[in-house]
Amino acid sequence: MAARVVTLKVPEATLAERIYLVEIVKGLARTLSHFLKNLSNIKGLPTIQYPEMLRKYSGRFRGRHILKTREDGTLKCVACYMCETACPAECIRIEAGEHPVLAYEKYPTVFEIDLLRCVYCGYCVDACPKDAIWMTKDYELSFFDRKSGVLGIPELTEKPSDTAAGGPGYGYRPYEGESPMRKAGQFEPSGLPLLPALLERGVAINRMPPPPPPKPAPPPAASPGPSV
């Protein structure tokens, strides 16, 4: 069977199309129309004017890390190595020392996070038993060399600018605000509130119906009287 050849007839370009002037004017007119339309409705645009405008992110955003402090200004971290062990990127390095306050036992003499290796998974926050490491919503991270990407205790310790108006604010942390169990008036173990997964299990346990009261013992049988 012979193949059928189909030829397409392409219309020849006109003189105006060959010199491109008309097409260039059409393109510029379309671009100008979009520009004027967007200029009159800047707030309605899906894009933002960065860095003058910043995008709002969730309170669970995983950004730069911070180390929380106690009321006396000391770090909550007790150098237990839980975050270093849980880190899948192996970007945390801790060296422990004996704390001068006996009640605190240990504290980190070295606490470093390599932000260039960090994958911002939040595992360190979940693993910390002392609620000592949180994450902020700070994502504007840039460095001129690799050494600048390794943050130590002075850079990681929480500062007022982290939560001040216009600052990045808190991001990923074990819970937002007050503990849900404490807010519900339920039992909360001593120490830190449970993580969300454990919290659901704890709430389910607390909502289990109480065991039924024991049945009262039957009265003793009356002894037979003396025979006549």
Q: Each residue of 90-134: pLDDT tens digit? A: 999 999 998 888 778 889 999 999 999 999 999 999 999 989 999
Instruction: Inform me whether the pLDDT recorded for 185 exceeds 70.
Output: no
**What are the beta bridge partners of residue 114?**
150
Residue 47 in this model has a pLDDT that exceeds 50: yes
pTM of the model: 0.61
Per-residue pLDDT band at 157 (split at 50, 70, 90)? very high
Answer whether 114's CB lies under 8 Å from 91's CB. Answer: yes
Q: Does domain 70-130+145-154 have CATH number 3.30.70.3270?
A: yes
Query: Are the C-beta atoms of residues 136 and 65 closer than 8 Å to each other?
Result: yes
Side chain identity at residue 225, one-letter code? G
pLDDT, residue 117, reads 95
Domain locations along the chain? 14-47, 70-130+145-154
